[in-house]
Amino acid sequence: MTSTTPQGERIAKRMARAGRASRREAERLIGEGRVRVNGKSIDSPALNVTAADRIEVDGIPLAAAEAPRMWRYYKPVGLVTSERDEKGRPTVFDRLPEDLPRVLSVGRLDLNSEGLLLLTNDGELKRKLELPSTGWTRKYRVRAKGNPTEQTLKPLERGIVIDGEKFRPMSISIDRVQGANCWLTIGLKEGKNREIRRALNEVGLDVNRLIRVSYGPFQLGEMKDGEVEEIRGKILRDQLGIKAEPQAVQRAKQAGEPYKRAANPSKSLRKRK
């Protein structure tokens, strides 16, 4: 077993780069004694490993770390953004195409929200893009019951405290009022659990549809429910300064477009009207 020296990289980071888990999840697996290095069980993530080390998780050899790849996915309403749900509800990962490699979600969208969800095979990239310090704006189109004015929304633009939890300032524009509902465009730098729904409810608006339309430079565009599209290698290099997985780039060049397909129709939810 390798020792805790500067050589190599931390085992949790190595597991994250292989797409097996996020770094935090990797540390949990290690703490539960489910990880073995060179045939020996470990119980602490304070260990550096190199390419020469043999790593197993639940008895399965850890895959070689690939270059980072990313996909855009239109998450439909009715899916939980987690690998497993204790209530038995369908998850995002139950509905992804079977030929997609193991992926992790960048951030979350709640059960009743839809729109752009970024997926990656690299746990370190996931962690980086979720950090508030990355500074990326998440934009949403929101339909809510009510007829707000700019004055109504001022508290949210300044930042608001709800049940002792502080929400950072939001950017909000009123797009149109349609009958009893209004359409808003909202931008966040850091998304907390059900933040938009809770914040709008605080000023008397009841959200009945929420669509994420962008995450930093990545846009939902004209994607449809359940559709998955791999982000081109050039875009990854330009936006993130990383290289795409060579085989994926080669396949995209041969096809003349990025990896793009809808989820298995037999697995898809009925499209929301």
Q: What is the pLDDT of residues 213-258, one digit of tens each?
A: 999 999 999 999 999 999 988 888 888 877 554 444 444 444 444 5
For residue 6, give both structure tokens.
């500067």
Q: Which fold has domain 9-61?
A: 3.10.290
Question: Rounded to whole angstroms, how far apart are CA atoms 12 and 15?
Answer: 5
Nearest alpha carbon to residue 158 among 203, 213, 113, 194:
203
DSSP, residue by residue, 55-124: EEETTEEPPPPPPP-EEEEEEPTT-BSSS--TT---BHHHHS-TTS---EEES---TT-EEEEEEES-HH
The answer on pLDDT for 53 being more than 70 is yes
In the chain, ranges of CATH 3.30.70.1560 domains: 137-215
In the chain, ranges of CATH 3.30.2350.10 domains: 68-135+219-231
CATH-assigned architecture of domain 137-215: 2-Layer Sandwich (3.30)
For residue 272, give both structure tokens.
């929301």
**Segment 114-140, tens digit of pLDDT:** 999 999 988 888 888 888 777 789 999
Q: Give the predicted TM-score (pTM) of the model.
A: 0.73
What is the band of 1 on the pLDDT scale with cuts at 50, 70, 90?
very low
Over the Cα atoms of the chain, what is R_g?
21
Q: Which helix (H) or strand (E) holds 142?
A: strand 138-145
Q: Which is higher by pLDDT, 110 or 273?
A: 110
Residue 199's pLDDT is: 95
Pair type for strands 227-230 and 160-162: unpaired
**Which long-range contacts (C-beta less than 8 Å, at least 24 apart) are formed by 186-192?**
186/139, 186/140, 186/142, 187/137, 187/138, 187/139, 187/140, 188/137, 188/138, 188/139, 188/140, 189/132, 189/135, 189/136, 189/137, 189/138, 190/132, 191/107, 191/108, 191/138, 192/165, 192/167
**Segment 3-19, tens digit of pLDDT:** 444 478 889 888 887 87
In the chain, ranges of CATH 3.10.290.10 domains: 9-61
The residues assigned a catalytic role are: 110
Q: Which is higher by pLDDT, 153 or 243?
A: 153
Confirm or reject CATH 3.40.190.10 for domain 68-135+219-231, answering yes or no: no
Half-sphere exposure of 178 (CA within 13 A, CB side): 8
Instruction: Give the chain's mean pLDDT.
Output: 84
What is the band of 261 on the pLDDT scale with cuts at 50, 70, 90?
low
Task: Report yes or no: 235 and 216 within 8 Å, Cβ to Cβ.
Answer: no
Residue 190's pLDDT is: 79
